[in-house]
Every structure is written in C-alpha cells, then in structure tokens.
Chains A and B, each alone.
Chain A
C-alpha cells in the first residue's frame, strides 16, 4: 500500500540555521510523483515542487533544495539559512497515476528570530 511518512512532527530552529525535513514513501509502482507543499498560518496550501520517479536529480530553488533518493525511498527537503517567514507546516505527498495524493502528516517548522 502507498504510504508517506514524515516522522518529524515539529522542528524548531533559530533563524539562519539550515533545516532538513524528512519524507519517506512507500509504493509498488515504478511511475509515481512526489510533492512538497507549504501551509503557512493563513491556511492556504502552497505548491513547492513536483518530482517524477524517473528524475532523481536534486533540485535547488533559492534557499530551498530537495534530495530524491529512490534507493532509500526518500524525498527530503532542506531550507538553507532559514528565515522567520519559512515558519509553516510542510507536507510531503505521493501520487500514483490517477489516484489521489497520499499525504504525510506534515512537519511543523518553527523559525525563531
């Protein structure tokens, strides 16, 4: 069965520290898609990245980077030089074909000034 595990319920760091959010997934399909979403206190879920199972290249976007490793079924997200505005709940999700997204439980990230 498909499953997404975000073992870190809450992470608290001081501003400018680097922080990594873990995501481990389970799937039997060879074709699948992985996502990260951010949910700030306002409530709206904001799309961050989509990665398909055939593309294991790491992605960097400004202070954000993603490490996709099929060998360990992980899709981890790193924020470099964190800022207070990064405080939010971050969700990892998995999609197989036409099926709905399987969501992780989310990691609440608190960046202290």
Chain B
C-alpha cells in the first residue's frame, strides 16, 4: 500500500513569488490535512479537506490556501511568499475528519524563501 506522497521534496523560492505543493493521500483516505513545521513554532495546523470540502482551518493568513480534488489529492498554495514562510510543510491523510483516527504523514516539502 503506497504511503502519502508529497511533491516536491525541496523548493527554493524568492520573496513575493507563489508556490504550490502537492499531496497524494493513501488510497481510500478521503481526509487530507496540512501542517507547517518550524523550529520556533512547532507543528501548526493549516487546514483539512474531506471530500473536496475544507472542514477545518487553522490560524493562517489568506495567503495560504488549499484545495482537494475528486481523487482526494490535495494541493496547497502560498502566495506572496515571505521569509517567515520558510518551513517544512507536512501533509497527512486519514480515514475521517479530525484527528481521532490518527494520521499518516508524507515526507514533507521543505520550502526555503530567500
């Protein structure tokens, strides 16, 4: 059974640019959540999608957005990048919404903004 696939693994972008990250969940998992991880702030929840609908949202500015497709694959987009957006972005898939089923995480996308 294939795991959660995140692409790309590494990205370097310039301030002001935008970026799109992709996540393919485990087959059969309909929930996809996104997290930002930085040394100073730890793991911070961005948003969760289930059946193409955003079900939960964290406390991030509108520059951070996401979507989910009918095959459960998800993308997140960050516009007008800032230096502080440099982080490891983790995608997690789950059987249902919320965290009670536990997550399977991808390897993450490490974004560096210069």
Contact = CB atoms under 8 A, between A and B. Distances in A.
Answer whether A and B are interacting partners: yes
A64 interface: no
A47 B94 CA distance: 12
A103 B107 contact: no
A105 B42 contact: yes
Contacts of B108: 43-44
Given A47-B104, A95-B98, A95-B100, A100 B110 contact: no
A106 B98 contact: no
B105 interface: yes
Interface residues of B, number: 24
17 contacts: A33-B102, A37-B105, A43-B90, A43-B108, A44-B107, A45-B90, A45-B92, A47-B105, A50-B102, A95-B99, A97-B98, A97-B100, A98-B56, A99-B56, A100-B98, A101-B45, A101-B103
| Main SS class of interface, B | strand
Given A43-B88, A45-B90, A106-B42, A99 B99 contact: yes
Contacts of B33: 100
Contacts of B55: 98
Interface of B: 33, 42-43, 45, 48, 55-56, 58, 88, 90, 92, 97-108, 110
